[in-house]
Amino acid sequence: MNALSSYSPLQQLSLTRYGRLKMLHRDILPKLDPTDFRVRLTLKALYSTYQDLQQLGLEEEARLLTDQNQS
């Protein structure tokens, strides 16, 4: 069974989006020039999605995804 199945569709969407943005932050952003507009957009989307997760009561899950993507 998929671990995401225990969450509502909105929670699933937010968690999946946050995980993807963290992957971009880890793998793609270091290759871009810091002044590239995509860097700023990705960071803003990451912050916004984290705020969404906090409002949905999924702050702990966001921390786990953050820790997982940093290793």
Q: Cα separations (Å) of 15 from 31, 32, 37, 59?
A: 25, 25, 24, 10
pLDDT value, residue 66: 80
- The string of pLDDT tens digits covering residues 5-20 is 789 999 999 999 999 9
- The string of pLDDT tens digits covering residues 45-68 is 999 999 999 999 999 998 888 887
**What is the average per-residue pLDDT within 14-27?**
95
Q: Is the pLDDT reported for residue 1 higher than 60?
A: no
43 DSSP assignment: H
2: left (phi over 0), alpha (psi -120 to 50) or beta: beta
